[in-house]
């Protein structure tokens, strides 16, 4: 994507969705949760108020232009800087994607608002809805996800069950595992039992592969669960869970990336040099050149996590 868009980003590498064009419908870190593992850091605006945070007409105009000028991606995903279902008209964006493109539309949601009928109706326009479940009661929900005070764990589960009952597309459920927090077999069994009640088509086990941006990450409070410990846990779920694998995309056509494009990508999410090379079809040497310039100009930082080096944009104060 050579043009600078305000509400679209990428396509970015996604381990679930391949080459994914992101659609950002909320200001940075506007969310109903403040999860300890979030790669974007602490939630700045924790809320459950639904409104038109960004102009829908402008989002649709950008999508229309992108579809005409590029239009190559495995998915178009509503994701990005916050919780997309907080946007009161997100369903119109999904409906536009369905009517104007052959690319499937995906909604990446934490599921906190799926107990609302209007949110269920809007989400039904997606081809894939990915929700989340990483706790098993109100106490662990409060500890792990740090929800908006009025949110109840029972409503999170019931909302997802109600949505599954009427949704005709693919429902995927992510279970995020943090070593020492929710990884004991009895605890995972409790999550698995709730997941079975929800009835997703696919269940993904994820862990802290990318560096979270919490202050206590340096103390390894948010620690990844090794793959050899995750594998036995997959069999506790029905259907059996999948461990999120490496990035793969059907699109390998070369893309001319610029330094600005790479910086824009890293402002949205941390990435390794390999991921940047894959998404833009670049040689590793070229990626290193751009990353070096961005490091020297103090626009990005590097952090080692699980034997990989991830790059992310430094926040500009002001």
pLDDT class for 266, splitting at 50, 70, 90? confident
What is the model's pLDDT at position 277?
77
Mean local confidence (pLDDT), 15-24? 84
Mean local confidence (pLDDT), 143-154? 94
Domains and CATH numbers, the chain: 8-251 (3.20.20.70), 258-318 (1.10.10.10)
Location of structure tokens 């995906």: 106
Highest mean pLDDT among 27-31, 178-182, 216-220: 27-31
Whole-number Å distance between alpha carbons of 261 and 17? 20
Q: Which of 268, 278, 257, 273 is nearest to 308 (CA)?
A: 273
For the entire predicted model, the pTM comes to 0.79
Whole-number Å distance between alpha carbons of 91 and 94? 5
What per-residue string of b and e applies to 188-206 under the rule 16 or more CB within 10 Å gives b? bebbbebbeebebebbbbb
CA 294, 295, 297 angle in degrees (round to 5)? 65
Please say if the pLDDT value at position 218 is more than 50: no
Q: Give every CB contact of residue 165 below 8 A, 6+ residues apart in sequence.
A: none
What is the model's pLDDT at position 92?
97
């Amino acid at each position: 994507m050579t043009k600078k868009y305000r509400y679209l980003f990428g396509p970015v590498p996604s381990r679930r969705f391949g080459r994914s064009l992101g659609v950002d419908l909320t200001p940075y870190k506007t969310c109903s949760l403040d999860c300890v593992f979030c790669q974007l850091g602490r939630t700045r605006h924790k809320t459950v108020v639904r409104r038109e945070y960004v102009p829908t007409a402008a989002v649709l105009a950008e999508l229309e232009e992108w579809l005409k000028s590029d239009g190559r991606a495995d998915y178009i995903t509503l994701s990005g800087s916050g919780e997309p279902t907080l946007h009161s008209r997100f369903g119109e964006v999904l409906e536009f994607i369905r009517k104007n493109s052959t690319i499937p539309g995906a909604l990446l949601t934490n599921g906190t608002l799926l107990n609302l009928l209007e949110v269920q109706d809007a989400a039904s326009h997606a081809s894939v809805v990915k929700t989340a479940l990483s706790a098993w009661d109100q106490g662990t929900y409060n500890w792990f996800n740090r929800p908006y005070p009025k949110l109840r764990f029972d409503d999170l589960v019931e909302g997802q069950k109600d949505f599954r009952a009427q949704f005709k597309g693919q429902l995927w459920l992510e279970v995020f595992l943090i070593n020492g927090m929710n990884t004991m077999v009895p605890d995972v069994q409790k999550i698995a039992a709730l997941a079975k009640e929800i009835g997703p088509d696919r269940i993904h086990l994820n862990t802290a592969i990318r560096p979270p941006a919490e202050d206590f990450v340096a103390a390894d409070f948010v620690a990844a669960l090794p793959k050899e410990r995750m594998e036995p846990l997959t069999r506790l779920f029905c259907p059996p869970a999948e461990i999120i694998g490496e990035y793969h995309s059907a699109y390998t056509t070369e893309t001319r990336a610029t330094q600005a494009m790479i910086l824009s990508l890293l402002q949205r999410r941390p990435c390794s040099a390999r991921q940047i090379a894959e998404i833009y079809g670049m040689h590793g040497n070229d990626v290193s050149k751009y990353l070096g310039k961005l490091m020297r100009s103090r626009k990005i930082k590097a952090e080692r996590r699980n034997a990989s080096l991830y790059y992310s944009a430094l926040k500009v104060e002001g």
